[in-house]
Structure 1
Amino acid sequence: MFATATRNFVEEVDHGGLLIPVSSLNDSICLLTVVVKRKRFWCWQKPKYIPTDFHLNDILTGDTPIKPGIIETDFIKFNGTYGENIKGNVEANFTHTSVTLEGKDSSKLQSSFGSLKKEEVDVQKLLRDSKDRLLDMSHSLVQQTKEKAKQSFGIVKERIVTTQPCSVIEDVQQGAQCGGGLSACGPKTLKVSLKENGSLTKDSNVTMEIPIHTTIAYALIELEIKHDGHYVLCLMSDTNGGFEVDGPVWKRRVDVSGSSMDKSENSHLRQELERLSDHFQLLSALPVTTKSSLLQNITKVMEDRSAVSSLQSVLDQMCLGKTPALGDVATTGSQKQNIQAILDLLEQSGQAESAQAGQSTSVLTALHLITSAMDEMTNDCLAVLGLCCSLSVLPDLELLVQCVSGKGEMPLSSAGLAALLTEDVYEKTEHLFASSNVSLKKDGDKVKMEINQRPGHLPLVLCIAVRGLASLAHFE
């Protein structure tokens, strides 16, 4: 709940910027707090940031603490309400029987952070104070972080803080109605009629009171650390920190697959999707019933941003060989059931694959790939993709993925594409790609797609998610 609220806040006020949302109220973050930056499983994923209990002064040698100047300014007043409504009904009519089932879910998250303040370190003074200072390379935190190659240090240079008590309110309403009728007619005038109606509702309303001086977002300066403990502050946003390794290090700007950034965005996209094609093929080869159930449960999880993050975190643990504790997952009871259903299907498919070719880990990795891509999407993009998760639309979205990673245009007469580009579906599809920095437009008898300048990883994560979900929709 709190993590979703802070993530929404950062997406609204600093989308694509340097602010990192605080994920837990238990994280005590102040200026110069040491944060461990951990690279993720997939190269295009945002790093994971783990605040520690240590301040920069705690891991320095010497007795003289660094006391940087602090600049305080008013930031903004922020109140946001996010919600969604989902309705559905099913009717079945038989010779003497009729059944109707109607469901309605609605959720609303209201974040009332009020007036916020920004605290910043005086970086010029911090540079002067850091000159000739050394990290204690024997400190346990330094030793444990250095042992893992994908981890580095950052220190908090800026934080957004509440200035008054505030609240986060989540309101969830779930309801279902079931009606049925049974009639029997005899040869004469005898008629028997039985009707039954039932309803089930489940509401929850949770209010979280946030105390004053709570950090809801922060920004870092990364540290480049030498063997002898000397460190350099990485002042440029595109400069990454880390521990010095043996031998010279040659740095250059690379894309997610490691090749130099001198090719077109379409080419990068195509290369990445080709590199991941085995994962999509593996999902497509699963039994039809397994694919259908996986697609159904993943679509349900997509209705809740926090549930997507929870599923991704669970699969993270499993990829590391750990057994996740589903009871610790921070999401609703119904979403825990959806996640558990996915894990059960994963276990079943894993057993089947291991009996045939020992590929259970690959099934896990393929699902982890999809959920990781969805977790990197903006809230807007994820919501629209959820609306497009139907057996009729997903294969056609896959055609558009082929288009944007290829020549960038295709005829409207392509198989299935004309149906996709009906007015209602086209509007959703155009919005979906636009929210991932890809323009989609009709041009005569063709559809044209173009990746915007400096798109980041959004086009790639959308294409991965579409390809993965579409693989589960291949029922031929």
Structure 2
Amino acid sequence: MFATATRNFVEEVDHGGLLIPVSSLNDTIAILTVVVKRKRFWFWQKPKYIPTDFTFNDILREDTPIKPGIIETDFLKYNGTYGDKIQGNVDTNFVHSNMSLQGKDSSKLQSSFGSLKKEELDMQKLLRDSKDRCLDMSHSLVQQTKEKHRQSFGIVKERIVTTQPCSVIEDVQQEGECGGGLSFCGPKNPKLSLKENGSLSKDSNVTMEIPIHTTIAYALIELEIKHDGHYELCLMSDTTGGFEVDGPSLKGLLGVSGAPADSSENNRLRQELERLSDHFQLLSALPVATRSSLLQQMTKVMEDRGAVSSLSSVLEQMCLDKRPDLGDVTTTESQKQNIQEILALLEQSGRMQSAQAGQSTSVLTAFHLIASAMDEVTNDCLAILGMCCSLTMLQPLELLVQCMSGKGEMPLSSAALAALTEDMYGKTEHLFASCNVSLKRDGDRVKTEINHQPGNLPLVLCIAIRGLASLARCV
């Protein structure tokens, strides 16, 4: 709940900016807190930020601590409500019996952070205080971070803090009615009541009280660290930190872009998708039953942003030859079960070799590609994609992806676009807009235009659509 609330907050107030949402109330984040930044499996994934129990002064060599100059300002007053409603009816006739099923599912997350304060580090003072200072290269945190070539240091230079007790409230309601002796149950697992008429209802209302002075988001300044412990502060937003290495740096990330800098957005997108085409083909080649089950389980996971992040994290650990602990997955029991079902299906495929073992197009890696793309898209994009997980809808979406990476326009009269009713066209337009792509009608043609914005949202949208379409094909 808290992680979803802070992620929503950052997406609303600093979309594409420098703020990082706090994922756990257990994290103690203050100005000058040391945070480890870890690069992810795919080059377009946002880094993972791991707050530590140490401050910048703890890892400096000299005994004289740096006293930070902190500037406090009022930030804004924030109250946000996010929710969705799903309703469906199914009537089926069998030879000896009839079955009817009706279901309603609604959820609402209300974040009342109230008045927020911003604390900023006085950078001029930090620059003066940092002159001729060195890190203690023998410190255990420095040693352990340096050993991992994809990790670097950042220190908190700004944070957004609550100024009053506040709350996050999650309200879930589910109802179902059925006939013919069939029971109905949804993906959540709160309070349960079964009525005599065969109706099933589930309700939960969880309130999380957030104390005063809680950090909900922060920004970092990264460190470029030399062999002898001297460091430079990365003052430009496009400058990243790290440890000085002997010889050429290691490039262990998959899918690193090799498109020329002067290529058009469409050409760069096409080249990246071509590099990943083996992954989509491998998923399409799976048995129909396996693909159908994977798509079904993935659709369930997509109902919960936290579950998508957990699945992506588990698959990444497995791709790096690490044994994941599902006990550390912070999501509902039903979503843990969905994740376990996906892992079992991937294992049954018989091709779960590690990417590091040379099998860069294993089923495991290919499915991780989809899950990690889902984890990168916006909340709006994820919600709409969750409603489009059928061959009927994914076919026209995949065609629009081809349009994006090609000439940028195509006729609306195309047979594959017939499924785009007026209502679905509006949803599709919103879907692409949430990932910085404009979808416009021009007479009997539709045009796609990639907006020049920081990040890789158009690419991850294309990966998500093509991945889901690979699972849905001929299901």
TM-score under structure 2 normalisation? 0.91
Structure 2 letter corresponding to 1:42:
W
Q: CA deviation at 1:423?
A: 0.8
In the TM superposition, 1:248-397 aligns within 5 A as: 256-350=256-350, 362-397=362-397
Structure 1 letter corresponding to 2:461:
L
CA 1:411–1:339: 2 relative to 1, 3 Å: same
CA 1:360–1:239: 2 relative to 1, 3 Å: closer
Structure 2 letter corresponding to 1:438:
V
**In the alignment, what sits opposite 1:140?**
140
Secondary structure of the corresponding residue to residue 303 of structure 1: coil
Q: Deviations over 1:124-163 (max 9, x none)?
A: 0000000000111111111111111111110000001111
Structure 1 residue ranges, 4+ long, deviating more than 3 angstroms after superposition:
351-354, 358-361
**In the alignment, what sits opposite 2:67?**
67
**In the alignment, what sits opposite 2:111?**
111
Structure 2 letter corresponding to 1:275:
R
Q: CA deviation at 1:295?
A: 0.9
1:87 aligns with 2:118: no
Q: Output the aligned Cα RMSD.
A: 2.1
Secondary structure of the corresponding residue to residue 372 of structure 1: helix
Q: Would the aligned equivalents of 2:353 and 2:364 in 1 still touch at CA under 8 Å?
A: no
Structure 2 letter corresponding to 1:14:
D
Q: Would the aligned equivalents of 1:437 and 1:455 in 2 still touch at CA under 8 Å?
A: no
Structure 1 letter corresponding to 2:31:
L
**In the alignment, what sits opposite 1:460?**
459
Distance 2:215 2:295 in 1: 38
Q: Deviations over 1:19-56 (max 9, x none)?
A: 00001111111100111100000000000001111111
Secondary structure of the corresponding residue to residue 312 of structure 1: helix
Q: Would the aligned equivalents of 1:350 and 1:359 in 2 still touch at CA under 8 Å?
A: no
Q: CA deviation at 1:415?
A: 3.1
Q: Deviations over 1:270-322 (max 9, x none)?
A: 01000000100000001111111111111121111111112112212222223
Distance 1:267 1:23 in 2: 36
In the TM superposition, 1:122-141 aligns within 5 A as: 122-141=122-141
Structure 1 letter corresponding to 2:453:
R
Structure 1 letter corresponding to 2:90:
V
CA 1:455–1:225: 2 relative to 1, 3 Å: closer
Q: CA deviation at 1:359?
A: 6.6
Aligned residues: 454
Distance 1:291 1:65 in 2: 58
Structure 1 letter corresponding to 2:120:
E
Structure of larger gyration radius: 1
**In the alignment, what sits opposite 2:414?**
414
**In the alignment, what sits opposite 2:167?**
167
In the TM superposition, 1:155-194 aligns within 5 A as: 155-180=155-180
Structure 2 letter corresponding to 1:40:
R
Q: CA deviation at 1:409?
A: 1.2
Q: CA deviation at 1:256?
A: 4.6
Q: Would the aligned equivalents of 2:351 and 2:362 in 1 still touch at CA under 8 Å?
A: no
Tell me which moved more, 206-215 or 318-327. Answer: 318-327
CA 1:351–1:60: 2 relative to 1, 3 Å: closer
**In the alignment, what sits opposite 2:252?**
none
Q: Would the aligned equivalents of 1:350 and 1:360 in 2 still touch at CA under 8 Å?
A: no
Structure 2 letter corresponding to 1:440:
L
Distance 2:353 2:224 in 1: 44
**In the alignment, what sits opposite 1:57?**
57
Distance 1:352 1:333 in 2: 25
Structure 2 alignment gaps of length 5 or more: 183-195, 250-254
**In the alignment, what sits opposite 1:426?**
425
Q: Would the aligned equivalents of 1:451 and 1:459 in 2 still touch at CA under 8 Å?
A: yes
CA 1:268–1:216: 2 relative to 1, 3 Å: same
Structure 1 letter corresponding to 2:455:
G
Q: Deviations over 1:363-397 (max 9, x none)?
A: 11111100100100011111111122222010111
Q: Would the aligned equivalents of 2:279 and 2:361 in 1 still touch at CA under 8 Å?
A: no
Distance 1:145 1:360 in 2: 26
Structure 1 letter corresponding to 2:317:
Q
**In the alignment, what sits opposite 2:39?**
39
**In the alignment, what sits opposite 1:237?**
237
Tell me which moved more, 153-162 or 106-115. Answer: 106-115
Secondary structure of the corresponding residue to residue 120 of structure 1: strand
**In the alignment, what sits opposite 2:445?**
446
Secondary structure of the corresponding residue to residue 407 of structure 2: coil
1:150 aligns with 2:150: yes
TM-score under structure 1 normalisation? 0.91
CA 1:148–1:166: 2 relative to 1, 3 Å: same
Distance 2:326 2:105 in 1: 23
